[in-house]
Structure 1
Amino acid sequence: MKTIADLKASGCIIFECISGSKAYGLDTATSDTDIRGIFILPKDLFYGMEYVEQINDATNDIVYYELRKFISLLSKNNPNILELLNVPEDCILIKDPLFDRIMMDYFLSKLCKNSFANYAYTQIKKARGLNKKIVNPVAKERKTVLDFCYVRDGKVSLLVKEYLEKNSLLDTHCGLVNIPHMKDCYNLFYGEDKGYQGIARANANEVCLSSVAKEEQPIALLYCHVDGYSAYCKKYKEYWDWVSKRNEARYENNVAHGKNYDTKNMMHTFRLLHMAKEIAEDGTIQVRRPDRDFLLGIKQGDFEYDDLVSKAEVLKEELDTLYNTSNLMERPDVDVVNELLVSVRNEFYEK
């Protein structure tokens, strides 16, 4: 059983629902329909060599978890999995009575502080990274090592390109020689018929050294900012890798509202933070969001980036206090959860 079609034909699905933005009440006209489900492998596959813990489509819009993996993720208080125990009735497509045996009370614990909130903080860090990329784009034309070489000219420093242009000199007639005990510093020599190698070859990541006669005198001291060039190369690669992989429609939306951050990312960050707070205060998960207007306002770009980060930091401090005083259990009881897993599986096989 390897495909969704195989799974649907098997009769092994005990739960299936619409999840994601449509379950949260945060969907818009362009939102996808996410499907999540739980299945129990037929006995021969479960006890045999072909255990399958998950079946999904290519985009992960449709995902089904085998009972053991589902229970394992519940035990870790995984946010996306816990919410399946409380999706709105109008989102439930299939529910075997066996699924009702898997109750929230077995799993909801203080682990949610980390599983919900820490995931949200990770998203904020991603939003910060995206913010930097949007605000500080990297030009497509890649700089060379020459753009990080400087020459002392009187009391100031000039880019070597400016220095050469100012003095009507050619890079190809230049020669560099190391200066002992002066890291990344070189004596710069010049001569048309000296056989010098130039300052740097095309596409090279370092300067080029030349053999220079002892009687020759340098015309200047050149410094190569190697660390700066290395940092630039890393930034260039990260930026253009991001460009090649980004969702263009989502990116254009982020640029259009002028806030320069991923608004969808930040919306789900606050959804998770608010859900974590509700769990500590009320001991339940509200999947259909009561803060819908606020969350959609974030998605629409109604808030400034720095203001949202500040709000998130305040929420983090609140969560520390709330979870310290919460009546939630510290973590799910492994023995109780294991007994539940065995009981549900056996009951399914006996049917």
Structure 2
Amino acid sequence: MTLEELKKSGAIIFESISGSKAYGLDTATSDTDIKGVFILPKEQFYSLNYIGQINNDTNDVAYYELNKFIELLSKNNPNIMELLNVPKECVLYKHPIFDTIKKDDFLSKLCKNTFANYAFTQIKKARGLNKKIVNPVEKERKSVEDFCYVRQENQSMLFKSFVEKNNFNLKGFGLVKLAHMKDCYNLFYNEDLNYNGIARKNANDVCLSSIPKPEQPIAVLYFNVDGYSTYCKKYKEYWDWVEKRNEERYKNNISHSKNYDAKNMMHTFRLLHMAKEIGLDGEINVRRNDRDLLLAIKNADFDYDELVHKAEKIKGELDEIYKNSNLIERPNMRLVNQLAYNIREKFYNL
């Protein structure tokens, strides 16, 4: 089922603007995020074609099937819990049956960990961006040869330096694996014997050649397989990130020169403050009354270490807050399961 098919199906029971516009933290360049809940047609729900979630490519628009929605609520997932109290002006559509889902049946002391842990993953993401900014990966991809080393007599050097030093032709090299020596090879050179070289173009491993018995190796070659694998992973991660990154957000992070993703840090404090409010008041405050502080964090008005210290302090306060909270320990799964069943049956009978 596509998004277009879902919207025409009549299966949606809730749809709302979410994200920064729901929090009241949007700016002129903010996207409009949409979240919603739907109920699969009866024949599809009972078949093997169950669909738990439908979203667009960027996940800015996401709809959750009732079972998945209820399951995530029972785990006190922060992104899902907030749908139970979005500002009225953000609600695009709500079927009356959705009102049978009450926050008091789900809001529990699990929020201490779900909100706080999610908050601290944002800290890691915020710092992780710095590594990409200050350690860019060159567009031209390195080859197997860049991770090969040659030992000749008492010296060890990069294979490419060895070739350049001796003015060798790359097509004149041949390799034979050395027994009992991992990733080590005898290196042969003869321009007249049609050897395969040490690696084919765009290959991820060295290649071997058939070597006549009279031939003698000129050196031992070592291929740093682990180093090459790590590089390939880093290369892919970096250029995937470049392809998918939000350029406006990236330029903002570059401009403030604080070496962290300020938007991630803003969400860290939004989540921690929400966790604190839930523990103290039992309320999911989606529309933020700490907007000025959060936007100052997004604007990188604070140093990273200062923010981490503040976040750790709030996280430490949560233990005492939740210890004295009147919240239930966790949702009653018998009641949760009955609720999911009642909603589905009632919807199918309408």
Is contact 1:3–1:56 with CA below 8 Å preserved after alignment? Answer: no
Name the SS for the 1:49 alignment partner: helix
Name the SS for the 2:43 alignment partner: coil
TM-score (norm 2): 0.79
Q: Could you say if the C-alpha distance between residues 171 and 69 of structure 1 is closer, same or farther in structure 2, counting changes exceeding 3 Å?
A: closer
* C-alpha separation in 1, matches of 2:209 and 2:252: 52
Pairs within 5 Å for 1:304-319 = 304-319=303-318
The answer to whether the aligner puts 1:280 opposite 2:274 as a matched pair is: no
Q: Could you say if the C-alpha distance between residues 150 and 307 of structure 1 is closer, same or farther in structure 2, counting changes exceeding 3 Å?
A: farther
1:331 CA displacement? 1.0
1:143 CA displacement? 0.9
The answer to whether the aligner puts 1:158 opposite 2:157 as a matched pair is: yes
Partner of 2:255: 256
Partner of 2:123: 124
- Measured against aligned partners, the alpha-carbon deviations of 1:60-119 in whole angstroms (never above 9, x if no partner) come to 655666766654443332323322333345545667887666443222101212332233
Q: Could you say if the C-alpha distance between residues 335 and 222 of structure 1 is closer, same or farther in structure 2, counting changes exceeding 3 Å?
A: closer
* C-alpha separation in 2, matches of 1:91 and 1:71: 21
Is contact 2:127–2:259 with CA below 8 Å preserved after alignment? Answer: no
Q: What RMSD over aligned residues (CA atoms) do the two structures have, in Å?
A: 3.7
1:136 aligned partner, one-letter code = N
TM-score (norm 1): 0.78
Q: 2:43 aligns with which of 44, 49, 53?
A: 49
* C-alpha separation in 1, matches of 2:66 and 2:30: 28
Is contact 1:4–1:57 with CA below 8 Å preserved after alignment? Answer: no
Name the SS for the 2:287 alignment partner: coil
* C-alpha separation in 2, matches of 1:225 and 1:32: 45
The answer to whether the aligner puts 1:294 opposite 2:293 as a matched pair is: yes
1:128 CA displacement? 4.2
* C-alpha separation in 2, matches of 1:67 and 1:194: 68
- Measured against aligned partners, the alpha-carbon deviations of 1:46-65 in whole angstroms (never above 9, x if no partner) come to 6x425598777776655666
Pairs within 5 Å for 1:180-259 = 180-259=179-258
* C-alpha separation in 1, matches of 2:137 and 2:212: 42
1:201 aligned partner, one-letter code = R
2:7 aligned partner, one-letter code = I
Which sections of structure 2, spanning at least 5 residues, go unmatched?
A: 46-50
* C-alpha separation in 1, matches of 2:62 and 2:195: 64
Q: Could you say if the C-alpha distance between residues 58 and 220 of structure 1 is closer, same or farther in structure 2, counting changes exceeding 3 Å?
A: closer
- Measured against aligned partners, the alpha-carbon deviations of 1:19-45 in whole angstroms (never above 9, x if no partner) come to 321221211112234455567x7xxx8
* C-alpha separation in 2, matches of 1:108 and 1:28: 30
- Measured against aligned partners, the alpha-carbon deviations of 1:194-219 in whole angstroms (never above 9, x if no partner) come to 44332222222222333445554433
The answer to whether the aligner puts 1:140 opposite 2:134 as a matched pair is: no
Partner of 2:7: 4
1:163 CA displacement? 1.3
Aligned length: 342
Partner of 1:331: 330
- Measured against aligned partners, the alpha-carbon deviations of 1:129-186 in whole angstroms (never above 9, x if no partner) come to 4332222221111111110111235654221111121122222222333333222222
* C-alpha separation in 2, matches of 1:81 and 1:29: 25
* C-alpha separation in 2, matches of 1:4 and 1:350: 20
1:49 aligned partner, one-letter code = E
Pairs within 5 Å for 1:3-22 = 3-4=6-7, 7=10, 17-22=16-21
* C-alpha separation in 2, matches of 1:214 and 1:350: 83
For the pair shown, the structure with the greater C-alpha radius of gyration is 1
Judge which range, 168-177 or 212-221, deviates more: 212-221
Partner of 1:74: 73
Is contact 1:4–1:56 with CA below 8 Å preserved after alignment? Answer: no
1:192 CA displacement? 3.2
Identity across matched positions, percent: 67
* C-alpha separation in 2, matches of 1:30 and 1:149: 47
